[in-house]
Structures are given as structure tokens and as C-alpha cells.
A = this chain, B = another copy of it.
Amino acid sequence: MESNVCTGCNRPDLPWAGRGTSLPISGCRFTLYPMTDGFIDIILGALEQTDTSAVWSETDALSTVYRGKLPYVADAVKALFINAYREGVHMALEGQFSKGCPGDIAGDSQLDREGEAPNAKSLEGKHFPVHCKLALYPMGDASYIDEIARVWYMAEDSGLQPKTIHYATRIEGDVQDVFRYLEAVCELMENSEKVHHYVLHFTMNCNSPTVEE
């Protein structure tokens, strides 16, 4: 019971019946941080270039959330980040993918989309290196060490050089590979019979002025 309960939405008033775990809705709440005076233009410009027709979307003063089928949610987040890329401009993307919160609701989603992700073609051939850190919380799985181990080795097998840091895992690589990996971790969680609910927090950045040893 305890590990089936969403600790993200913090709703003591919800019926913790677990209905949300059976909803087919994946989501990603994220924020883009271009570290430049022109951050509004970059974000609006990226939005204009990004096809978000395959997801339900809502923006507030802190973040944006996309909800729908995982491939379309991941496609839209990736497209927004890549479309916001500017040569030499330091930018970060902070987000959390999630599915299966027992307190989740059936609405606020887009589930009738089929076919290729709408931004796939326009993103082809776009490459730049990113740093990324992630922390995975698989809930409701008595043996989720196995999932964690698999996720770690998946990063290694993908050439993303996983490294342990306090409270998170660091990976490095091309933006397309890092997004492919994050989506693969979500797929693994969503296809696991043991994990009913997961949250994957991640932060990636490009053009960091910090030189690492």
C-alpha cells in the first residue's frame, strides 16, 4: 500500500484507491531555462516551431505539463528543448516524467493520437552535447532494485557514462541519445508488471560555462 501512493501531488483529501495507476496517461512537467536576456523570445520561438497537437498541455508561472501517450509526450518535450537551442547560449531543462499516480484523474489528456510523433522528422539531424542528471522513483515494486540496476546498465550500454553523484545519477551524451534513454527508462517502468507508479526527475543542460576536470 504505502509505495502505491503518490507523494508528489500531496493530496490528503483524495481517495487513495489506486485508480490512477490504471490510467493510460503519461505526463511530463518541465521548465526551460535559457540563461539569457532573450529567454522569452527563445521559449516562444521554440513553442512556435514545436507541434504540440499530440498532447494535452497546461502552462503556469513555474512550469508546463504535457499529458498523453508517452511517445508523444517525450517527442514534444524533446522538440521544445532542441528548438530552443541557440549556439553558445547556456540553457537548462528541468522535468519529471510520471505515470500511474493513484490520485491521478482521467481528464487533462490526449489519448486518441496514432502514428509517427509529429516532431520526429523536423528533429532529425539535430545534435549537440548535453549534461544530464536523473533520479528515478519506481513505486510499488517489491524488487525494484532490479529495475534500478537495469536502468543503470542501460545507460552504460547506451554509452552515456553513468556516474553516481549525491542524490542523483549523472549521464553525458548527445541530446538525441539522452532523450532516447530517458524515454526508454519510462517505457521500462510503464511496461513493468511490478511498478504501478513511477516518477523520473531529470535536469539537462547545454553550453554550460562550467569546466569539469
A residues whose Cβ falls under 8 Å from a Cβ of B:
1-3, 5, 7-12, 16, 27, 29, 31, 33-37, 39-40, 58-63, 65, 67, 90, 92, 94, 96, 98, 101, 104, 108, 131-138, 141-145, 148-149, 151-153, 162, 164-170, 199, 201, 203-205, 208-212
**A137's closest neighbor in chain B, by CB?**
B7
Is there an interface contact between A35 and B39, defined as CB atoms closer than 8 Å? yes
Main DSSP-derived SS at the A contact region: mixed
**Complex CA–CA separation, A8 to B166 (angstroms):** 8
Q: How many copies does the complex hold?
A: 2
Is there an interface contact between B12 and A148, defined as CB atoms closer than 8 Å? yes
Q: In angstroms, how far is the closest chain B Cβ from the Cβ of A4? A: 10
Is there an interface contact between A136 and B7, defined as CB atoms closer than 8 Å? yes
Is there an interface contact between B12 and A59, defined as CB atoms closer than 8 Å? no
Q: In angstroms, how far is the closest chain B Cβ from the Cβ of A55? A: 12
Contacts of A108 in B (CB 8 A): 166
**Complex CA–CA separation, A113 to B55 (angstroms):** 50
Is there an interface contact between B152 and A61, defined as CB atoms closer than 8 Å? no
- CB-contact partner of A152 in B12, B148, B209, under 8 A: B12
Is there an interface contact between A210 and B61, defined as CB atoms closer than 8 Å? yes
19 contacts between A and B (CB under 8 A): A2-B145, A7-B135, A8-B168, A9-B166, A9-B169, A10-B152, A10-B168, A10-B169, A11-B152, A31-B203, A35-B36, A39-B90, A61-B131, A61-B205, A61-B212, A62-B203, A65-B167, A101-B167, A135-B199
